[in-house]
Each structure stands twice: as C-alpha cells, then as structure tokens.
Amino acid sequence: MRHHAEATPITTATATAARVIGMTAVLLAGSAVVAGQAHAEPGRTPGAAAISGSAAAPKADFNGDGYADTVAGAPKATVAGKEYAGYLTVAYGSAKGASTTHRQLFSANSAGVPGDPEAYGNFGGSTAARDFDGDGVADLAVSGNKGVVVLWGEKGKGLTSATQLTEGGHDGDLVAGDFNGDKKPDLALGSGDFDDKGLKVLYGGFTRDGKAAKVAEYATGHEFGPTSLAAGDITGDGVDDVFTTHAFEEMSESSEFFKGTKDGLTDKPQHVTDAESGVIADVDKDGYGDLVIRTVPGGVVENLPYDHGTVKVLYGTKDGPSTSRTATLTQNSAAVPGTNEEGDEFGKALSAGDVNGDGYADIAVGAPGEDIGSGAAGKDAGAVVQLLGGKNGLTGTGAKNWDQGSAGVPGAVEAKDGFGSALTMGDTDKDGRDDLAVGAPGEDGASTAVDAGAVWVLRGASGGLTAEGVVSYGPKTLGAPEKGSQLGSAFLR
C-alpha cells in the first residue's frame, strides 16, 4: 500500500517536530518519538462528534485566525518504546485549507505536556476542542491513561502550553458542549472508572491551572462506562444534551440520552435504541438537533465487523430523540451510492457539518470495509459517503461517494487501507462551508512504514464536497514517525 507523494518533512523528529513553521513564538517543543508496530485497539469507536447551535461544525481555531484547524490522532503509535502511547498532529487552517507546513506534533513525551508516555496511554485517541478558558481562542482537551490534559490556544500563536485537567486514568471518550446553558463550554468524560458512575462532567469556565467551575458524576445504569459519546441540542432549548452508547461483553446495551438543563445534565437518562456510535446535528433545520446513529445488528457487538452497516436518524423533539419519526439509510437506499455488502460497516464513522453552506447539517458516513473494484487488491480499501440534509431530513438526494479511486483524490485503491475509518468536519479555508477530514489508518508510508496512516481533507463547496484543492498527508509530511502509527484512526470530537 504505497503512500502518495509526500511534502518536504520537518528536518528532524526531535525538538523541531512540534514547531509551527513560519512563527517566531515559542511553542510546546516535541520530544523524539519512536514508532513501532501497533495492533488494533479494542473497544474504541472513532467518529462520534459534537455539533451545537447551527449546521456548521464547531470551529477548532487554536490561533484565532478564523480558520478551523485539523487534529488527527495516532493513538496506536509507539512512543519512547511504549506501545499504544500515541501522539496527535495539528494541521492549521489557511486560505488553501489544512496546511502541512503550519503544523504541530504532540505526545506525552513532548516538552511541556504533563506526564510521561505510558503503554496503552492512547494519547490523541479522544480529543475535544472549545474555548475552555474564555479568551476567545479554542483549546484542545486530550485524554490519556494519566488523565485529561488541556493544550491551551493563544491568539496569533496556536497551542502554546498545557495543564493537567484531571488526575488518574482516563483513556475513554471526550465530548464538549454547553450542558447548563451558561454559554461556557463544558467537558464530558465517559469511563467506568469514576465510582462506577460512568459519566463525569467538568463544567466551565476553566482556569489555566486546571480547575473547573464544578464537577458532577452521573450514573448511566450500566456496569461499564460509555463506549462513545456525542453532544448537541436535541430538544431545541439552547442547552446541549449528551448521548452515550454502551456494551457488555459481546452484546450491545441501550444507549442513554442525558438532557441538558440550566442546572446541568439530568440525573435520570432516557433509554434510546442500541447504537455503536452517534452524532447530533439538525439535518432538517427545524431547530432540533437530530440523533444519527449506526445500529448494532441483532444487538451483537461481535457482528459489527461483518455488518454491511445501517444508519438511523432519530429526529429531535422537545422531549428528546423521537421514537416515531425516524429514518433508516443503507447503501441500498434510494440514491445512496454503493450496495449493501458484508463487512462494509457503513456508519462505522459519522461526522456532521454543513458542506454546502445551505444551513442544513450534512452527515459524512464512513464505510472503511468497503471493497473497491473486484479482487483482493481493493478488499477493505474503504469509502466515505456524503449524505445531505434538507427540508425532508437526511436522504440520499445529492449523495456522493469518495474513495482513493475517485477522480482528484490522491493515492490509490489498496487493500485494508480503511479509508473512512474516522472522520471530522471543520471550515479549514474559511469559506463558510465545512470541509471533511478522512482517515485511512491502514495506508502505508515509506517502503518499511506499514500502517503509517494518512489523512485527506476534502473541501466543501456549493455542490457539496469536492476533490478540488484536496489536501492529503501522512506522518512523514508532518515530521512524525510512520511505522505502525495509523495516523487518522481518530479525529477531533
């Protein structure tokens, strides 16, 4: 699986690896990061996301220039000899989209980042961006097995300093939103490590010494913590809600809907249908966020890798996700590209934003198990399908398929690349339309760099996503380690 042409890398992967090119300001320096072979990480669901207030994705702008920045994780990478220690990359936005020359690299081994690399620390596996300290610039929360770290954004500079936000192990999911309606972003953490409660919320504002205004824990009613989180305003009251998914051993369990109120999340969640993952966005522009999920076939988690994949929409109401107004979409649905095939995993990754600027939220659906062409060469090459929102909700009208065989998309169709394994949206070129970042963690880099991973950023346009001006990069382009890093296996929530 050859990787496409690489841009000139940063000169070393040591102290200069985290420097923002073209800036004289001092930034967090990256220490040497040594990569090794990694294995598939069990129990993690990439692609869950948050979207609040409008159809557009929340803007992760760490230097205050108005361009959204792209955060891509390599949580399976070996760092300082520690398997699955992980790292993340930041490609800053520009008039030409995500920039591969204006970038940063962070791991738990980076100077200024609290803690040390730990085996299975999964740094970069779950991230969330909001303006946590209220200075007008987005900050980045990162989970790991030593707790949650916040990398602080600074206008004109980018991510410049870091603080330990929580102590103790947390390598579970993160999602940000405003769960009490005070216009200050809050951070939800999903894990079974918090007194068996399962869900913990740090309410803002936050101080740069790592203190939240309030901390609360919520029982999910499940033995283990959530497998994924999503946030958004389903009830249309201006306060974000939280959606959690659950599983026990090989079986899925009911998902939970936590309504946001002026006092924070409600203590008693509402049961929702089983799901692997979800995203909340207003696809019909009626003022209620809609819950878009990937369903679990027969309620058996072990069947997910062999599933063709089904996406279900539970439309928002003042009381939460509707049980009567729903829609189901597969690759056999009218106007949706492709055909239901075993192992496609349509819906494995989901992301929301407004790719054509019409005010309706659109959904990108990853199908990392999609076979492209015939024969072994295209087995599990992967694809992404764009589904557009509209007055009738989410439908196949205007749907598009993207893979490495699509015109204008760099690279080549190759087996087990897993294009579409993780997704995120953001307006990287500040044109009023969201762009889509797509991860292919199985993409190879140099001749010996198996599973280096790579990222593609497709630009939004009036007709939807386009390959015109597409940006693509692998670890080598960013001065990061390649072999086994699987860059693009996780993105910003």
Give me the residues of the chain with pLDDT under 50, please: 1-53, 194-195
Return the bridge partners of 91, or none. 70, 103
Q: For residue 170, what pLDDT is reported?
A: 57
pTM: 0.90
Numbers of helices and strands, H then E, in the chain: 0, 30
CA distance 340 to 374: 15
CA distance 275 to 190: 16
Q: For residue 169, what pLDDT is reported?
A: 60
Residues 186-215: tens digit of each pLDDT: 999 987 554 456 899 999 999 999 999 999
CA distance 315 to 336: 20
Q: For residue 57, what pLDDT is reported?
A: 84
Q: For residue 273, what pLDDT is reported?
A: 96
CA distance 262 to 314: 24
